[in-house]
């Protein structure tokens, strides 16, 4: 910052030997400064302290970490902006209470921090899509599955891609077979995991685990033109099943575990006799 104004990119490039690829990041920072920083009124925020020290040519330890924390201080602690992005991409409407329930189900469906974190990453839009990557490498944001879509965002990659339709339909049929009830074949249920409140607790618990496994199957095919298949979904689910069983055994909760997984055991036994299922 010089004379109260941001350096031009040309000046920054010459001073710090920046590449042309950094121009987009420069625009992002300038836009943030123009639209967000004007609203900062507290001079004692971490971010303002960082800028003041920088302006005064003071030495700053861990400058990147300080900058990140300062920016996070300005960010409201809400995921509503994420919900808005999903709604815009999918042309859908997610009510506030539905969005809250989706996150609650995600965080309670398994005892594994690993799988909870993965589900969180899917909802938070953690994975890089062609639409995002195109900003960095100037390549067209076309879907890598060669479906013809030229603007592959998160909603497309996880749900709307035509290459995934048969996979989601198979998963849908399997879930209806498992729970013996009609399930809506829509993203709010199948991808986001919004389950009707009247469902029994055990069924809501199990279906969210099955949907986490379903999404993991998609990310294992990340950047691959091939669609995931239901056989691999079964294998991933069994990975979770076995780990949940070990955890339940250690915590002396095998009876509860059996109740949660009863419908899955009934379904998978005739479909995949190669799996060894025991609840003892």
The residue extents of the domains of the chain are 9-74, 80-271
**Per-residue buried b or exposed e for 25-58, using 16+ beta carbons within 10 Å of the residue's own CB:** ebeeeeeeeeeeeeeeeeeeebbbebbeeeeeee
Predicted structure pTM score: 0.73
Which residues partner with 5 through β-bridges? 2
Q: What is the pLDDT of residue 229?
A: 97
pLDDT of residue 59: 73
The reported pLDDT for the residue numbered 108 is: 83
Secondary structure string (H, E, C) spanning the chain: CECCECCCHHHHHHHHCCCHHHHHHHHHHHHHHHHCHHHCCCCCCHHHHHHHHHHCCCCCCCHHHHHHHHHHHHCCCCCHHHHHHHHHHHCCCCCHHHHHHHHHHHHHCCCCHHHHHHHHHHHHCCCCCHHHHHHHHCCCCCCCCCCCCCCCCHHHHHHHCHHHHHHHHHHHHHHHHHHCCCCCCCHHHHCCCCCCCCCCHHHHHHHHHHHHHHHHHHHCCCCCCCCCCHHHHHHHHHHHHHHHHHHHHHCCCHHHHHHHHHHHHHHHHHHCCCCCCCCC
- What was the pLDDT predicted at 4? 39
pLDDT per residue, tens digit, the chain (280 aa), is: 444 344 566 776 777 777 766 776 777 777 766 665 555 444 446 667 777 776 677 777 766 766 666 666 666 567 888 999 999 999 999 999 999 999 988 888 888 889 999 999 999 999 999 998 887 777 889 999 999 999 999 999 999 999 999 999 999 999 999 999 999 999 999 999 999 889 999 999 999 999 999 999 999 999 999 999 999 999 999 999 999 999 999 999 999 999 999 999 999 999 998 887 765 4
pLDDT for the residue numbered 279: 52
Q: Is residue 215 a contact partner of residue 158, using CB atoms and an 8 Å limit?
A: yes
What does the pLDDT read at residue 42?
A: 44
Length of the chain: 280
Whole-number average pLDDT of the chain: 85
């Amino acid at each position: 910052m010089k004379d109260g104004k941001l350096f031009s990119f040309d000046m920054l490039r010459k001073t710090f030997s920046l590449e042309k690829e950094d121009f987009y990041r420069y625009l992002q920072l300038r836009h943030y400064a123009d639209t967000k920083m004007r609203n900062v009124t507290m001079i004692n925020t971490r971010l303002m302290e960082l800028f003041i020290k920088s302006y005064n040519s003071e030495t700053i330890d861990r400058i990147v970490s300080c900058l990140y924390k300062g920016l996070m201080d300005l960010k409201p602690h809400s995921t509503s902006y994420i919900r808005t992005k999903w709604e815009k991409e999918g042309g859908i409407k997610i009510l506030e209470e539905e969005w809250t329930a989706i996150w609650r189900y995600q965080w309670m469906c398994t005892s594994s921090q690993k799988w909870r974190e993965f589900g969180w990453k899917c909802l938070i839009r953690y994975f890089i899509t062609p639409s995002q990557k195109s900003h960095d490498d100037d390549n067209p944001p076309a879907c890598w599955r060669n479906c013809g879509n030229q603007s592959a965002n998160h909603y497309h990659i996880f749900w709307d891609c035509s290459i995934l339709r048969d996979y989601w339909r198979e998963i849908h049929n399997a879930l209806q077979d498992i729970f013996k009830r009609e399930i809506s074949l829509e993203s709010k249920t199948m991808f986001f995991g919004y389950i009707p409140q009247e469902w029994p607790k055990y069924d809501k618990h199990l279906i969210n685990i099955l949907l986490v496994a379903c999404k993991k199957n998609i990310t294992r095919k990340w950047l691959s033109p091939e669609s995931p298949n239901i056989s691999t979904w079964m294998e991933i689910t069994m990975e979770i099943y076995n780990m949940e069983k070990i955890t339940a055994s250690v915590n002396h909760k095998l009876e509860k575990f059996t109740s949660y997984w009863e419908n899955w055991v009934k379904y998978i036994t005739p479909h995949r006799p190669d799996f060894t299922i025991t609840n003892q």
